[in-house]
Amino acid sequence: MSRIDTTVDIARPPEEVFAYITDPSHLPDWQESAVRVRRMSGTPDATSQKFTVTRHMGRRDFDSNVELTLDPAHRRWQVHGTDGPVRPDLEGSVESLDDGRRSRVSLSLDFEGHGIGRALVPLVVKPHVRKEMPRDEQHLKEILERGAPA
């Protein structure tokens, strides 16, 4: 199955959008399946950080250990799952629009299945994510356009 590619334009400067979207502590604020985030290593200003993200899908909560790698100079980031049956592989970027008055967020997401995850990815995970991502992006847009702090 192919990657899930999406974009959303946000009426906020790219520096603010990048700072907010790459701070994992904000995930539960704008992603409906994200329940909590716990830092495992790295500091908030480090370009490489490890986290455990707890997501609620169906009737259960699932923990996923991920590594976040930031490229602030180019406003790009990657998130890679490091263990578990379903491992996300996300590439994101924030592009400047209208002389820095607006931003375009681009996300490209795929999943790597291990063990039972090989069956879960195409049957459960990707269909769920394809439905959730547009709502998440709309929520992100609303939060940032209201002026949420980074």
For the chain, which residues make up each domain, given as ranges?
Answer: 4-36+64-145
CA 28 remoteness from chain centre: 10
pLDDT single digits (tens) 94-138: 999 999 999 999 999 999 999 999 999 999 999 999 999 999 999
- Tell whether the model's pLDDT for residue 27 goes beyond 60: yes
Q: How many CB atoms lie within 10 A of CB 101?
A: 11
Domain with residues 4-36+64-145, CATH architecture: 2-Layer Sandwich (3.30)
Does residue 29 surpass a pLDDT of 60?
yes
Whether residue 1 is predicted with pLDDT greater than 80 in this model: the reply is no
The torsion region of residue 122 among left (phi > 0), alpha (psi -120 to 50) and beta comes to alpha
> Phi and psi (nearest 5°) for 126?
-65, -45
Which residues on neighbouring strands pair with residue 60, listed in sequence order? 57
Prediction pTM value: 0.92
The span from the CA of 127 to the CA of 117, in Å, is 14
- By three-state DSSP, how is residue 83 classified? coil
